[in-house]
Amino acid sequence: MTKFTRSLSGVAFAAMTLMASGQAMAQTVSWWYEALTPEQQKLLDDKLVGGFAASHPGVTLELEYRGNAVENQQRLALMSGGGPDIINSNGPATALATAKAGQLLALDDYAAKLGWDKRLIPMFLSLGKVDGVLYSIPKNYEAMGLFYNADIFAAKGWTAPKTVAEMEALADTMLAEGMTPFVAGNAGFRPANEQFFTVALNQLAGPAAIREALAGTRPWTDPVFVEAMTRFKAWYDKGYYGKDYFSTSTIDAFAGMVTGKTGMAPQGTWAFSWVKDYFDPAGANAAFTSIPVAEGVPYPLFPIGVGSALSINAKSANPDAAAQVIDYIFSGDFYGAVVPQWQGEWNVPLADLSGIAMQGEVTPLYKEATTMIADAIADGSYGYTTWTFWPPRSEQYIISGVEELWLNKATPEQFLAGLQEIFAGELAEGSVPPLP
Amino acid sequence: MWLFALPALSINVVIILIPALLTIALAFCQWDGLSMPVFVGLANFNAVFADRVFWIALGNNIKWTLIFLTVPIAIGLFAATLLLLIHRGRTLFQIVYFMPVVVATAITARVWQGMIYNPNTGVFGLLQRFGIELADPLAHTETALYGIAAVDLWHWWGFLAVIFLAALRQVPQEMVEAARLDGAGFFGLLRHILIPAIAPTIKLMMVMTVIWSFLVFDFVYILTQGGPAYSSEVLSTLAYRNAFFEFDLGRAAAVALVIALFGLTATFAYVRLQAREGAN
């Protein structure tokens, strides 16, 4: 070995030692996040980044707020071999496509080692599996239920409807009193259409028939769905969704429930933050219960959705550290710190909430609702939301198709025939997310 | 000479030529944006042409083009001619006419959506309370496209007025004076002197209008996202949905090529026209 090569080897060894010690000293886990308000960013910086740093010295979580197009940026980055360590997908359907492209790490070993398989509700873990391998875990889950103004209902002697027949009778009474029965509107957010479709389909056709259709054993053109869509269209025609549906935003309509302008809200659990924004300042009392169901459909019923799912980038340099971040999110410490501040958004699917010390006030309504939903899920009394269980082209078809159905551009039969054609293609491609 | 052109050429190759070639290649592939693209021949074009929404969108783009080839050009020309004939306050009027062009599209769209058209919070709602029944045009399939076009027209015609005024000011004043001495009125002056004199500018603006009309996206997306029931769908919103919500980038590229085809046809027609005029 010459003097030069000896020197070179020495430099290389020193560099490797430095790199190794650097790795042992500090690891960074990157996570690209959607646009948030400054208050929300501060909350996550404090409770997530700060909370994680305090309990995990040696690992730094870097949250990067990248705007509303973060999903597209992430796709391009993954395709070119880059991207953040933690992959945040818009639910199981997106995670499925990413996993099939080989861009996600299998999480089964972490789930067993860190106890996720015991800590999380099993139904939600099953949604992240592709061919039996776990690739994603829901960051939070949402459930569609019925919100209403408890004060107005009490004053008028109304009770929350449990059956569709009761709901229609109440809606007719509301119409007669000049109220818009449902909190609804899609101005500025057309996907609101699929939320109303989801509720109507689940309450009228029932989750068993939907599951069969999603599994491909019952066509969407089946009479049970035709009947459901015919009634859904009749509700629009009668004015249950309001005469200004296309000019109103759902949030504005929700605010109208405080004053009695709108009657009841078939909405997701994200609306708990609207309760805080509109009911609390007005000193009004909101209530939450299951959606009413048709004869033969189990009650209570909460269609379940997953807004985002967490995975680890297959090319991550720090997969163990990324798993620690995910593990922290599914900890009681983080749940207790974040939920009192941001109700509805961080509804992580923990199986047991009883031992968690909440660091702040959680409204009795929210506690009652989460318990009610968790019990229903445990009993198997849950339904299916389009944005979680339908593949992307079918979902997009539904968003516009609902408008065609309501505005007499398509009959229920035509609307469902179109859905069947698109869904069958996506089912054959393997794009339908796993079913619980 | 090549060295002189190199900086601009490099930028064009990297920013325009390569993405354009990739888009053309992508139109013949199936690609979800995650896995490797797969060559599928003309399958994307077959799917696009078999899709009834594509034909609705194409029809809307054609309607949009016809509206923008006539209404804003006529208003812009009329206003520019009036500005040419007045001297006091001309600068002020130019600023007022041009102001909507510099307001961000999102702001303009939201103002019209929430403060003008909205039946609860807008001027239309206020008029309804006085018994004047004006429905939100964005909420109805028959009027949604025209409701969006009205917003874009409001924001656009001032730009054309300023461009046409700049062209009109190049017309020799002697010609205008001579025509007036010969007894030409406002419309006579416009028809026989001013319009023929600025015809190249008008033609250029018309060609650009065709290209821009097939690229229209922002106002449509903010105001209706193509709804209700596809009534305001245009090719660019269709391509956007294909690419970013349905994750079918090959099909989106095929729609993008159709958009480009119309732009190229307009450009080709303009170049031929210029060549013919040059020869004459």
Strand partners, A89: A309
The shortest CB-CB distance from A392 to any of B117, B139, B246 is to B246
Residue type, A104: L
- What contacts A114, CB < 8 A, 6 or more positions away? A323, A327
In Å, how far is B245's CA from the nearest CA of chain A? 7
- Of B120, B140, B230, which is closest to A400 when you measure between CB atoms? B230
CA angle A86, A109, B32 (to 5 degrees): 45
Q: Do A98 and B34 touch (CB under 8 A)?
A: yes
Q: Which residue of B has its CA nearest to A403?
A: B229
Q: Give residues 249 to 308 of A whose Cβ lies within 8 Å of B.
A: 252
Residue of B26, B30, B32 to mutate when probing chain A, most A C-beta within 10 A: B32
Contact A344, A269 (CB under 8 A): yes
Looking at residues B67-92, what average pLDDT do you find?
91
Q: Which of A86, A87, A39 is nearest to A61 (CA)?
A: A86
Least Cα distance to A116 among A90, A136, A141, A93 occurs for: A136
Taking an 8 Å cut-off on Cβ atoms, the answer to whether B229 and A101 are in contact is no
- Is the minimum CB–CB distance between B38 and chain A shorter than 8 Å? no
pLDDT of residue A15: 46
DSSP secondary structure string for all residues of A91-131: SHHHHHHHHHTT-B---HHHHHHHTHHHHB-HHHHHHTEET
Q: Where are the alpha helices (DSSP H) in B86-215?
A: 90-102, 105-111, 123-129, 144-168, 173-181, 186-189, 195-197, 199-215
Cis peptide bond upstream of A292, omega within 30: no
**Secondary structure element (H or E) that encloses residue A76, with its range:** helix A70-79
CB contact under 8 A, A247 and B138: yes
| A86 strand-pairing partners | A31, A312
- Count CB atoms within 10 A of the CB of residue A210: 25
Residues of B whose CB is below 8 A from A103: 34
Q: Along chain A (436 residues), what's the average pLDDT of each consecutive run of 10 residues?
A: 47 45 69 91 94 93 89 87 93 88 94 93 90 92 96 97 98 97 93 97 98 98 98 98 94 94 95 91 96 96 92 96 96 91 83 84 87 90 95 95 97 98 95 89
- Max distance between CA atoms of chain B, in angstroms, equals 73
Distance in angstroms (rounded) separating the CA atoms of residues A214 and A220: 9
Q: Given an 8 Å threshold on Cβ–Cβ distance, is B34 in contact with A409? A: no
Does the beta carbon of A417 lie under 8 angstroms from any beta carbon of chain B?
no
pLDDT of amino acid A18: 42
- Give the model confidence (pLDDT) of B162-186 as tens digits: 999 999 999 998 888 898 888 888 8
> Which chain A residues contact residue B35 at CB under 8 A?
100-102
Q: What is the pLDDT of residue A334?
A: 94
Which residues in chain B have Cβ-Cβ distances shorter than 8 Å to A417?
none
Chain B partners of A186 at a C-beta cutoff of 8 Å? 227
What is the spatial distance between Cα B269 and Cα B275, in angstroms, rounded to a whole number?
10
The whole-angstrom distance between B240's CA and the closest CA on chain A is: 12
Tokens of B56: 């609705």
Specify whether the CB–CB gap between A353 and A370 falls below 8 A: yes
Q: B46: distance to nearest CA of chain A, Å?
A: 16
Task: Supply A419's token pair.
Answer: 């859905």
* Angstrom distances, CA of residue B29 to CA of A102, A287, A426, B24, B101: 20, 51, 17, 9, 39
Residues with Cβ < 8 Å from A259, sequence gap 6 or more? Answer: none
| Top-confidence residue, B88 or B196 | B196
Residue B254, pLDDT > 90, answer yes
CA distances for A100 relative to A94, A96, A105, A210, B78, angstroms = 10, 6, 11, 25, 60
Q: Are strands A302-312 and A286-289 parallel, antiparallel or unpaired?
A: unpaired
In this complex, how many residue pairs, one in chain A and one in chain B, have their CB atoms less than 8 Å apart? 72
Contacts 24+ apart (CB under 8 A), B162-165: B162/B80, B162/B94, B162/B97, B162/B98, B163/B76, B163/B80, B163/B201, B163/B205, B164/B76, B164/B77, B164/B80, B164/B81, B164/B198, B164/B201, B164/B202, B164/B205, B165/B80, B165/B83, B165/B84, B165/B94
Q: Quick one: which of B165, B166, B151, B154 has its CA closest to B99? A: B154
Cβ separation of B246 and A252 shorter than 8 Å?
Answer: no
How far is the C-alpha of A51 from the C-alpha of A44, rounded, in Å?
9
A304 contacts A384 by C-beta, under 8 angstroms: yes
Q: A309: which strand partners?
A: A89, A138
Minimal Cα–Cα distance from B87 to chain A, Å? 44
Q: Say if A76 is an interface residue toward chain B (CB within 8 Å).
A: yes
CB A95 within 8 A of CB A308: no
Phi first, then psi, for residue A143 (nearest 5°) are -135, 140
Q: Which of A101, A186, A248 sits opposite B120 (nearest CB)?
A: A248
List the structure tokens of A387.
């944005």
Report d(CA A55, CA A53) in Å as an integer: 6
Chain B residues in contact with A75 (beta carbon < 8 A)? 33-34
Residue entry with tokens 């821009």: B212
Q: What is residue B123's predicted lDDT score, i.e. its pLDDT?
A: 94
Q: Which residues are paired to A63 by β-bridges?
A: A31
Hey, is B230 helix, strand or coil?
Answer: coil
Q: Do A190 and B227 touch (CB under 8 A)?
A: yes
Does A407 contact B229 at a Cβ distance shorter than 8 Å? yes
Under an 8 A CB cutoff, do A407 and B32 touch? no
Our CA-based measurement puts residue A398 at a distance from the nearest CA of chain B, in whole angstroms, of: 11
Chain B nearest C-alpha distance from A233 (Å): 14
How high is the pLDDT of residue A105?
97
| Chain B contact probe: residue of A246, A387, A395 with most B CBs at under 10 A | A246
Separation between Cα atoms, residue B116 and residue B110, nearest integer Å: 9
Residues A242, A257: Cα–Cα separation, whole Å:
13
Looking at chain B, the whole-number percentage of residues with pLDDT higher than 90 is: 69
Helix (H) or strand (E) holding A302: strand A302-312
Whether residue B245 lies within 8 A of chain A, CB to CB, comes out as yes
Coil vs helix vs strand at B86: coil
Chain B touched by A248 (CB under 8 Å): yes
Contacts of B246 in chain A (CB under 8 A): 392-393, 396
Please name every residue paired with B168 in a beta bridge, in sequence order, or none if there are none. none
| Average predicted confidence (pLDDT) for chain B | 92
Which residues on chain A are in Cβ contact (under 8 Å) with B140?
Answer: 246
Beta carbons within 8 Å of B78's beta carbon, 6+ residues apart: none
pTM of this prediction?
0.88
Distance of alpha carbon B195 from the chain centroid: 22
Helix runs in A206-279, H state only: 207-215, 223-238, 250-259, 272-274
Q: Give the residue among A199, A147, A155, A203 at the shortest CA–CA distance from A177.
A: A155
Distance CA B105, CA B130 (A): 31
A390 touching chain B per CB within 8 A: no
CB contact (8 A) between residue B34 and residue A75? yes
8 A C-beta contact, residue B120 and residue A252 = yes
Burial of A324 (0-12, 13-18, 19+ CB in 10 A): buried
Say how far apart CA B143 and CA A35 lie, in whole Å: 33
**A350 DSSP 8-state letter:** B
Asked if the C-beta of B237 comes within 8 angstroms of chain A's C-beta atoms, the answer is: no
**CB nearest A404 (choices: B113, B229, B245):** B229
Contact B227 A400 (CB under 8 A): yes
Residues comprising chain A, all counted: 436
